[in-house]
Structure 1
Amino acid sequence: MTNLSTADQILACARGLIIAGGYNGFSYADIADAVGIRKPSIHHHFPTKAELVQKLVAQYRKDAAAGLAHLAREASDPAAQLRSYTGYWAACIKDGSAPFCVCALLATELPLLPDEVAAEVRAHFRALSAWLKSALERGHKDGSLALKDTPRAEAEIFMATVHGAMLSARAYGEPKMFAAITNPLIDRLCKG
């Protein structure tokens, strides 16, 4: 983390701590120890934990939007985009670089999160659902995907399956579980 600014080191550390234990699973003392700074330095950049996590989720959303835009440019058809999306998560889970979606973890704590953090988490899910719905609509229209329900419902099913597969892979300690769950869903959509 040494090439990152102090604020970026704090954000990166907080992200890892959230993935490991959720919003309430870390404190500024944990970040100070991990980054090698004093707590007042964290407060200088992020006066409250809510502001820190809100900034982290806003950055996560920005990165996710850029990643989805990249998938849309790189994969020509909707089926390939869905496979690339799940392939990204399969690789992250396998190598441990991003073993779980930060927003999915935070969503499990929504009733306890500060309003500003909860709003960012909800916005992430709305944006992801909209991207999935668009891909599914395009695939249905061009005949490459067969939907059993509305594009909106299929998008929600897809999103829930992906996040559930992350949870199963984590619960079993078996990265291959992710693909074992998500591949049949994509196969169903592609074969009808």
Structure 2
Amino acid sequence: MTELNPTNQQILHYAGHFLQCRGYNGFSYKDISQKLGIKNASIHHYYPKKEDLVAALLEERRKNLAISIAQMMESKKSAREQLQYYFDYALQEFDEGKCICPPGSVIIDFQELPEKVKNQDILLLDDILEWLANVLQNGLEQGEFKFLDTVESHSEMIVETLMGARLLSSIKGRKTLVRSIFSIKLGLGWRD
């Protein structure tokens, strides 16, 4: 991956924002260049094609997720604390106007996407699901959670619920996302 100098970081920042607000086909290099006050050619210098940019962005999200997971493990956060972090992150992104989560931002166009974007999206989604399954398993073992289905199916349900809730919240408001998070907690036997 290209070294992340300040311009590259800004390109990824705005690409991520547009991707999560508009989806893959909802933005162009022109949108990013206008925000940064640079020419499209400057973006093409780092990312010759849009697929290169979006694949790099999703890869960067995977790296950031891995860092966050390592920090939570190092600080010995409980399963509830880790899951609350995930919920807080979803709420924070929604408050920033990002109504679509990173892996969900390309789902509508998924079949038409270049393979490198599809692959990075699947890897990011798999990383999230694997982390959630581990959190749920630890929560069951520590008595923090109580549910009957497998940790794999429950982690999928959590991701599916949050993806849908974020989209619906873009129309119905933040309270929809908050209610969905509350419902997920109830389904885990999580009583505050």
Q: Which residue of 2 aligns with 1:43?
A: 44
Normalising to structure 2: TM-score of the pair?
0.88
Aligned 8 A contact 1:79 1:186 in 2: no
CA offsets, 1:104-129, max 9 Å, x none?
A: 11122211111001100000110110
Q: What amino acid maps onto 1:181 in structure 2? A: S
CA offsets, 1:47-99, max 9 Å, x none?
A: 111111111111111112222333444563212321221122223323x1644
Cα distance, 1:16–1:191 mapped onto 2, change above 3 Å:
closer
Normalising to structure 1: TM-score of the pair?
0.88
Aligned 8 A contact 1:57 1:120 in 2: yes
Q: Which has the higher contact order (CA 8 A, sep 6+)?
A: 2
Aligned 8 A contact 2:21 2:97 in 1: no
Worse-superposed segment, 16-25 or 124-133: 16-25
CA distance in 1, matches of 2:94, 2:27: 22
Unaligned runs of 5+ in 1: none
CA distance in 2, matches of 1:68, 1:161: 21
CA offsets, 1:163-190, max 9 Å, x none?
A: 1221121122x11211111112112212
Give the count of matched residue pairs: 187
Q: What amino acid maps onto 1:137 in structure 2? A: Q
Please provide the CA RMSD for this pair: 2.0
CA offsets, 1:134-185, max 9 Å, x none?
A: 111111122221122011111111111121221121122x112111111121
Q: Which residue of 2 aligns with 1:166?
A: 166
1:121 aligns with 2:121: yes
Aligned 8 A contact 1:82 1:186 in 2: no
Aligned 8 A contact 2:21 2:100 in 1: no
Unaligned runs of 5+ in 2: none
Percent identity, aligned pairs only? 27
Q: What amino acid maps onto 1:189 in structure 2? A: L
CA distance in 2, matches of 1:27, 1:191: 43
Three-state SS of the structure 1 residue aligned to 2:62 is: helix
- Which runs of 4 or more aligned residues in structure 1 lie more than 6 Å from their structure 2 counterparts after TM superposition? none
